[in-house]
Structure 1
Amino acid sequence: MAIALVTGSAGLIGAEAVRFLAEKGLDVVGIDNDMRAYFFGAEASTDWSREQLETGLKSQYRHFMADIRELDALEPVFREYGSDIALVLHTAAQPSHDWAAREPITDFTVNANGTLNLLELTRKHCPEAAFIFTSTNKVYGDTPNRLPLVELETRWEIDQSHPFYADGIDESMSIDGTLHSLFGASKVAADVLVQEYGRYFGLKTGVFRGGCLTGPGHSGAELHGFLAYLAKCALTGRAYTVFGYKGKQVRDNIHSHDLVNAFWHFFQAPRAGEVYNIGGGRHANCSMLEAISMAEEIAGKAFNWSYSEENRVGDHIWWISDISKFKNHFPDWNLQYDMQGIMEQVMDGQRARLVTAV
């Protein structure tokens, strides 16, 4: 039986992947020690998600509460399953650039050292496995902010004469000479390591540089999980703060199912050291103001928000991913969820958890 090993398996992307891969007939081994609760507090814990996986999938899923920073904790898992591991899907991370500045060593050891541990164990125990890494568009730092941007009524937009206007930002953008944030720097280190293990050692590694990854399974917190936290505030009346850029900053959003489906396509025909920008692209994107408007409409009430002129360090003003490279390599893959569909599902997911919490 082929085994898929998923890190961060109780998180948004990890849990989506576990279910997706199990439906495809793989047995899944999950690694997740719920550090999200340490990063963002008890309300961001993914323990509820782990319980759902263990209860719902039973013998098809096995969970390990291991820390990816600890090689000695990971080695027995890889040794037990060995060459039966056909896929290593690495989604575990410290995901917030604000939080990274609080504990730079924790951030770097989770994001960079943890990735190195997983790569080396893959090379040692299952070198034929595909290795997929969830990177981030923050590897480009604030370089996107140098693009020629135009202020519109509800959003910033790139000038129509620029090559990125039609499809978004592609992989040709430099990652050098820019302010990354410490989170961005730790993810750059991991990103380059994954590429190098593909190019130097020949492992079948794929790097997916995501924008906003979202979906109904997100445990949103103020410092991470843009749409999920916004939805939670819309439903509960909790105050929400928009930081900088007049609330017109733009993000593309990709539903967790669409992203995991992209991983599946790569797994079917993996490459060595490949890099893809991945996100909602021109198909699914919004500004903060536009997201607030959608949330108000779906919730049926006014949104309690305020504005702070101070933007987050290294934050993007405008980001839309050009996903054409991935689509050229895997033409059978397509986005299923548009912005309205994503927002409705995120709101439904938050409603369900608020009812459970009561």
Structure 2
Amino acid sequence: MKNVIITGSSGLIGSACVEKFLHEGWHVTGVDNFTREKLFGKEADTHSNLDPLKKERNFTNIESDIRNNEVVTPLIKDADAIVHLAAQPSHPRSLEIPMEDFQINAFGTLNLLELTRKYNPDIPFAYMSSNKVYGDYPNYYNYTTIENGVYKRYENTALESFDEYLPIDGCGHTPFGVSKAAADMYCQEYAINYGMTTATFRGGCLIGSHQKAVEMHGFLGFFTKQILQQNKLFVYGGGYRVRDNIHSSDVADVLYRWITKPVPSQTGKFGKPYNLGGMRANSVSIYETIAAIEAKTGLKANFEEAPERESDHLWWISNMSRFKNDYPDWKGPKKDLDYIFNELLHNWIDIFHLDLDLKEPHYFRELRT
């Protein structure tokens, strides 16, 4: 039986990857220090994400920091693959803790790469990067405002989506974007210079019911929670901003496909970066998000416009052509916007014990037909 190490195993993507690899017959060793609660408060605690998995006999979770070599080294020696997801995930929070952000994201990743190079250099190493490696370069494009009924968003006047050739320098990143870019580049360099099998996945809005959403990280989960509780929302920099959302199970599927069949570049070396997101089909603006939650719940959102946050993208839609070309049997995300919204709403309705039925379960599906 093959063994995969999943760092950040209790997180949104971590717990989805644990489920995916277990389902495919792997033994999973999770490594997590549960630091999200420390970074964002008690509501962000991720321990509960692993509760349903504790009974799985092929799953072992170790509470440890990825920088603890005494713990991590023997795990790497026995691993058949590594999925590295552990991170400080918030770019607003990184402005408050730049040193800790660097230590977790940049140094933590380099530490794992170096241990893998020394002790088990032939195994595949997948790294969850971020579209924030591109900084605010996406904002340098021209956008037009679309207001057509419920559609209320920005549209890029030049591009349908962003691919991996978007520049990453000469723009504002926040410390988070810099630390993730550094880790991303180290993964590429360890493939190019040391012959390791790595890939980086530049995710955007990753979503699912296991997301412990807070205002600084996880807008879609946070919006559903706040509206259901009838709490005030702050819309930073205007609600025309667009994000493409991808469900955690679809992310886990992408990562599993690469781990089990890594594809090198044309030079024969690994280290490819892949953009990862819901693409145009799963794109939605902040204003459209609010309208959808109102339509599905019958509740009225209480929101207020607030100043723009540092280096926040105006518009992001991922181009996943590179991954599609390498994995032609992959047909795109299986979970559409209605599934994503409905799952989030049902999750919070259950948690808050609300007597509420969803009124528009197929809101987006009907809207687009």
Cross-structure match for 2:329: 332
Report the alpha carbon displacement of residue 125 of structure 1 after superposing the two structures with TM: 2.7
Cross-structure match for 2:341: 343
Q: 1:25-68 CA distances to partner (integer Å, 9 max, x unpaired)?
A: 0010001111000111000000111223213x2x2110111111
Aligned mate of 1:190, from 176, 183, 189? 183
Letter in 1 for 2:181: V
State the alpha-carbon separation in 2 of the partners of residues 27 and 352 from structure 1: 32
Q: Which has the higher helix share?
A: 1
CA RMSD of aligned residues (A): 1.4
Distance change >3 Å, CA 349–CA 199, structure 1 → 2:
farther
Cross-structure match for 1:127: 121
Report the alpha carbon displacement of residue 346 of structure 1 after superposing the two structures with TM: 1.9
State the alpha-carbon separation in 2 of the partners of residues 260 and 237 from structure 1: 32
Distance change >3 Å, CA 33–CA 351, structure 1 → 2:
farther
Alignment of 1:164-313 (within 5 A): 164-165=159-160, 168-244=161-237, 246-270=238-262, 271=264, 272-308=270-306, 310-313=307-310
State the alpha-carbon separation in 2 of the partners of residues 216 and 30 from structure 1: 20
Question: Which stretch shifts more, 317-326 or 114-123?
Answer: 114-123
Contact conserved, 1:234 with 1:299, CA < 8 A, in 2? no
Report the alpha carbon displacement of residue 124 of structure 1 after superposing the two structures with TM: 2.4
Report the alpha carbon displacement of residue 355 of structure 1 after superposing the two structures with TM: 4.3
3-state DSSP of counterpart to 1:31:
strand
3-state DSSP of counterpart to 1:318:
coil
Report the alpha carbon displacement of residue 197 of structure 1 after superposing the two structures with TM: 1.0
Report the alpha carbon displacement of residue 234 of structure 1 after superposing the two structures with TM: 1.8
State the alpha-carbon separation in 2 of the partners of residues 100 and 7 from structure 1: 20
Letter in 2 for 1:211: G
TM-score by length of 2: 0.90
Q: 1:156-188 CA distances to partner (integer Å, 9 max, x unpaired)?
A: 1011xx2x22xx001111101010111100101
Q: 1:303-357 CA distances to partner (integer Å, 9 max, x unpaired)?
A: 122111x11100000110111111111111121122222111222233333349x
State the alpha-carbon separation in 1 of the partners of residues 305 and 187 from structure 2: 39
Q: 1:109-155 CA distances to partner (integer Å, 9 max, x unpaired)?
A: 00011101111122223222111111001000000001111111211
Cross-structure match for 2:64: 66
Letter in 1 for 2:190: Y
* Structure 1: 4+ residue segments shifted above 4 A: none
Cross-structure match for 2:367: none
State the alpha-carbon separation in 1 of the partners of residues 39 and 324 from structure 2: 34
State the alpha-carbon separation in 1 of the partners of residues 75 and 255 from structure 2: 22
Cross-structure match for 2:134: 140
State the alpha-carbon separation in 2 of the partners of residues 198 and 157 from structure 1: 36
Cross-structure match for 1:110: 104
Say whether 1:321 aligns with 2:318. yes
State the alpha-carbon separation in 2 of the partners of residues 284 and 346 from structure 1: 15
3-state DSSP of counterpart to 1:152:
strand
Q: 1:234-277 CA distances to partner (integer Å, 9 max, x unpaired)?
A: 21112211101x21100111111111111111112213101111
Q: Which runs of 5+ in 1 are unaligned?
A: none
State the alpha-carbon separation in 2 of the partners of residues 74 and 199 from structure 1: 24
3-state DSSP of counterpart to 1:62:
strand
Q: Which runs of 5+ in 2 are unaligned?
A: 265-269, 355-369
3-state DSSP of counterpart to 2:54:
helix
Letter in 2 for 1:350: W
Contact conserved, 1:217 with 1:349, CA < 8 A, in 2? no
